[in-house]
Chain A
Amino acid sequence: MDDLISDFLTEANESLEVIDIELVRFEGHPGDRPALDKIFRLVHTLKGTCGFLGLGRLESLAHAGETLLGRFRDGKLQVSGEAVTLVLRSIDRIKLVIDGLGATGTEPAGDDSDLIAALEAMAMGAPGVETPASAPEPEPEQQVEGYDPVLGRALRPGEVSTADLDAAFAAAEGPVDSAPPALTEPSAAIADPRPVGTVEEDAAPIAATQSIRVGVDVLEDMMTLVSELVLTRNQLLQINRGRTDDSFSPPLQRLSTITGELQDSVMKTRMQPIGQAWKKLPRIIRDLANELDKKIDLVLEGEATELDRQVLEQIRDPLTHMVRNSADHGLEGPADRRTAGKAETGTIHLSAYHEGGSIVIRLRDDGRGLDTARIREKAIEKGLLTRSDAEALSESQVHRLIFAPGFSTAAAITNVSGRGVGMDVVRSNIEQIGGQIDLQSTFGSGCTVTIKIPLTLAIISALIVGASGERFAVPQGAVLELIKIGDGAEHRTEVIEQVRMVRLREELVPLIDLGAELGLPQTSQPNFVMIMKVGSHRFGVMVEEVIDTEEIVVKPLASVLRGISVFSGATLLGDGSVVLIIEPNGLAQRAGEMPLAARRAIDAAATNDDDAKIERKTMLLVRVGSGALKAVELGQITRLEHVPVGELQHLGSRAALQYRGKLMPVLCVDEDQRLKTEGVQPMLVVAGMLYTMGLAVDRIVDVVETPVTIELSPTKTGIIGTALINGRATEIIDLDHFMIMALAEHARTGPASQAGQAQEAA
């Protein structure tokens, strides 16, 4: 392809991205003069270049767009969503033509007269277009943007006014202060923060010498070469270690330092601000907001945070997808938000920052959050889990189900998302690059997705460990800590229900044996545990020895080995041997049976004997009857209600309540407890799968987050056992017991209709 054309394509694509962003901003702030000037200038430049290169189709499109923008600029036309949409549409058309140009080297054939006519009509204040009251009086000639006082006539399409021409010359050649008054705010153009690396001839000629364009393939080659150099250096260092003569040491040290510095510099050339991956987001959100009839504010933070361009490419699509998801599923419409007592405009907050050798990207929305009950139901419906498994999962485990393949909770498949390929693909893309994804959601107040990804993929520091006589490399970023186990060590492991665990600061961490997990015969006792965290799930990996830490160059495995999810690649060590690189996510998945089984084992152990289970939980403390303080895990409670006693219906010895249109049984927790006879009755509402029940209590005391160790006392009905909370013995309510009782109540008071109705509600 012609060099001129390919340069033009690069520049045009960059300009178009900026125009997208600025237009969306401008639409929100019609008074933003610098934004408009910037858009105008970019479109103008585009038009000029197209004319110069003889690209007629692009030129006339750009010209029509510019005319409309000019009318905004002169204040002759009020900025309306409709008008901006039209400009954006023409930008899209320009992109289309440019794509065609990129593919074939010539402008694709096509007719743009529809768009051009619409743009011109809009510019002239066509019927149906809002124009300010002051504009309608005809101001002959002067009102036309293209009127050139020097020529004394209106400009023909595509013709540039003498003043503009002068301006262009002045701007190209000399200092900007000589720019003629034809440019309204020339200083605005200079003050523009401009991404480093873009070269624009019209406004900042000096910047051209500060950066140059380099082909991506050149950078990739450099990276490969530096990787090889690092390997060779490692090899030399290894050889030198075994030598008695140390005459090589000083130059080797020097070589080593220089190699390190060279590696850093080459890495730097690959670094790009993450804002590159966000450029399209404002436009996407704007279009989505229109399409979905929502009000959405997109806040971007930390755009300048840099990361490797290879990583950047990998996260671009997942990020876009997640933002779309937030806008579509996460945020409510204005009416719903008002009802929920929130501002009509929903906010999507995207931020990025560095943390150690990783970059953390956080996407937060203040929407409705995840509906745990619905996800649970959906997972059962889709056959991902059995009902009893689903019941056993904690809230955050349920939330993570949205990352499961083929899972989608969207009630209806919309144009935007909900096809069930979403978060699954997002997760696998993130994990492919050694990243982790996690999510926290609070029902009703929003959802936060946190992604942690390595800064670069090419060279990582790794722990070299030995298992079953083989060596493996484990990315250091994945290892939280390393502890010693075995004889005489501080930590000891124990086997609970066939799952080996280690007690680490009051917590039980399930263990897997690396060698055994890889199907290798055991050669000696494991001596170390690498504590790893994948998502929110923490586990320990037992290895026999920890040999070294080394900077390793990740090399891909051959295609016949790529299916083995526990390995992400291979690397060469200093001694020339090949070791396999462990992929923590793959290991976690392979050991995937383990966490649930382990948790069950802990639970089972807790019910069978005195063994305690320690976990931090948010507990709701309540006072019931005369006995000890009672507690229940807050996450299991759907709502807390204070019901006026008059609303309680007494059916013989039992009580019930009309709750959300259905009759709900109200149970007492303790035998010596009496329902209140005046005032309000506090109660815990628990929504089960098929029905809802109320659990009357005397008083709601407190909510505390605390490590809970339940000592079992199976003698008392309705109580699982006791736990020490805030230093006081507290009885833990057995909700399952009451759910069964409530089911019996339902069966008595009219099973079919009640159950059916309640099912709809659940």
Chain B
Amino acid sequence: MSVRDYVTVRVGGHLFGIEALSIQDVFYPRNITPVPLAAHEILGVLNLRGRIVTAVCARRRLGLQPREAGAPEPKAVGIEVGGDNYGLIVDQVESVMKLDSDEMIPPPDNLPPRWAEIIPGVFRLPDSLLVIFDAPRLLTAGLQLGVAA
């Protein structure tokens, strides 16, 4: 039995979980400077208290539709990967759940490939499924290849 905290976030109507230990802060991503030639999923860079944070759009990463007009302001989950600061842009940060990691089941085989590489497992909640993100992979894997240069 190894209980861990997962922060749940909402992206395009789906609920996802990220291990709370990997999250440094939650903030509103504002004043994003776009980075030309970068991968489509990278929205740009922004200043968070003197640190330069690379903003990665979760919707684009998952191949979901862009946000509807008039939707509430998105939030960012700050995560450090390999010494670099990233912000994962999500629609909403919901709550923290304590879950037993032994109960995590492998993701279904029929996941789209772009989901499969960043989803290590799924939890069966009473009324829904909670898909877990591998945050470092989500933020970096394959994004260099998107570089057009």
Q: Which residues of A contact B (CB under 8 A)?
A: 228, 231, 470, 518-520, 555, 557-567, 570, 572, 576-580, 586, 590
Contact = CB atoms under 8 A, between A and B. Distances in A.
B47 to A, nearest CB: 5
Given A559-B84, A578-B52, A580-B35, A570 B143 contact: no
Contacts of A558: 45, 52, 54, 81, 84-86
B111 interface: no
A557 B42 CA distance: 13
Interface in B29-48: 31, 33-39, 42, 44-47
Given A561-B42, A576-B31, A577-B47, A519 B143 contact: no
B95 interface: no
B149 interface: yes
B42 A231 contact: no
B85 A231 contact: no
B47 A561 contact: no
Contacts of A518: 36-37
B147 interface: yes
Contacts of B71: none
Nearest to B41: A560
B72 interface: no
Contacts of A555: 52
A580 B33 contact: yes
A337 to B, nearest CB: 46
Contacts of A470: 33-34, 36
B108 interface: no
B10 to A, nearest CB: 24
A559 B142 CA distance: 11
30 contacts: A228-B50, A231-B50, A519-B37, A558-B45, A558-B52, A558-B54, A558-B85, A558-B86, A559-B82, A559-B84, A559-B144, A560-B39, A560-B42, A560-B54, A561-B42, A562-B144, A563-B147, A564-B35, A564-B147, A564-B149, A566-B37, A572-B47, A576-B31, A576-B47, A577-B31, A578-B31, A578-B33, A578-B47, A578-B52, A580-B33
Contacts of A567: 35
B89 to A, nearest CB: 14
B125 interface: no
Contacts of B84: 558-560
Given A519-B37, A567-B35, A580-B33, A560 B50 contact: no
A15 to B, nearest CB: 36
Contacts of A566: 36-37, 149
B148 interface: yes
A578 B37 contact: no
Contact of A557 (B31, B34, B45): B45
Interface string B82-115: 1011100000000000000000000000000000
Nearest to A228: B50
Contacts of B37: 518-519, 564, 566
Nearest to B145: A563
A285 to B, nearest CB: 39
Contacts of A231: 50
A519 to B, nearest CB: 5
B139 interface: yes
Given A557-B35, A557-B45, A558-B54, 19 more contacts: A470-B33, A518-B36, A558-B45, A558-B86, A560-B38, A560-B39, A560-B84, A560-B139, A561-B42, A563-B144, A563-B149, A564-B36, A565-B149, A576-B47, A578-B31, A578-B46, A578-B52, A586-B149, A590-B149
Nearest to A514: B36
B60 to A, nearest CB: 13
A736 B148 CA distance: 40
Contacts of A560: 38-39, 42, 54, 56, 84, 139-140, 143-144
A577 B53 CA distance: 11
A10 B42 CA distance: 46
Contacts of A577: 31, 33, 47
Interface size class for chain B? 20 to 34
Contacts of B139: 560
A561 B38 contact: yes
Interface in B47-66: 47, 50, 52, 54, 56
Contacts of B34: 470
Contacts of A564: 35-38, 147, 149
Contacts of B35: 557, 561, 564, 567, 580
Contacts of B47: 572, 576-578
Nearest to A562: B144
Contacts of B36: 470, 518-520, 564, 566
A578 B38 contact: no
Contacts of B148: 519
Interface in B5-49: 31, 33-39, 42, 44-47
The 9 closest A-B pairs by CB, nearest first: A518-B36, A558-B84, A558-B54, A560-B143, A563-B147, A578-B33, A578-B45, A564-B37, A563-B144
B94 to A, nearest CB: 26
A563 B145 CA distance: 9
- Residue from the set A519, A558, A559, A577 with the largest chain B CB neighbour count within 10 Å: A558
Contact of B33 (A520, A559, A579): A579
A578 B46 CA distance: 6
- Residue from the set B56, B148, B149 with the largest chain A CB neighbour count within 10 Å: B149
A519 B148 CA distance: 10
Contacts of A579: 33
A578 B37 CA distance: 17
A231 B49 CA distance: 11
A518 B148 CA distance: 10
Contacts of A228: 50
Nearest to A560: B143
B149 A570 contact: no
Nearest to B46: A578
A570 B45 contact: yes
A111 to B, nearest CB: 44
A610 B45 CA distance: 50
A572 B50 contact: yes
A579 B33 CA distance: 7
Nearest to B84: A558
A231 B52 CA distance: 13
Contacts of B54: 557-558, 560-561
A561 B31 CA distance: 18
Contacts of B38: 560-561, 564
A520 B36 CA distance: 7
A559 B140 contact: yes
Nearest to A517: B36
A353 B47 CA distance: 38
Contacts of B147: 563-564
Contacts of A559: 81-82, 84, 140, 144
- Residue from the set A564, A565, A578, A580 with the largest chain B CB neighbour count within 10 Å: A578
A600 to B, nearest CB: 24
B35 to A, nearest CB: 6
A13 to B, nearest CB: 29
A576 B45 CA distance: 12
A458 to B, nearest CB: 15
A411 to B, nearest CB: 36
A376 B36 CA distance: 36
Contacts of A557: 35, 45, 52, 54
Contacts of B42: 560-561
Nearest to A519: B36
A561 B38 CA distance: 7
A746 B36 CA distance: 56
A567 B148 CA distance: 13
Nearest to A589: B149
Nearest to B39: A560
A558 B37 CA distance: 14
B73 to A, nearest CB: 18
A559 B144 CA distance: 8
Contacts of A576: 31, 47
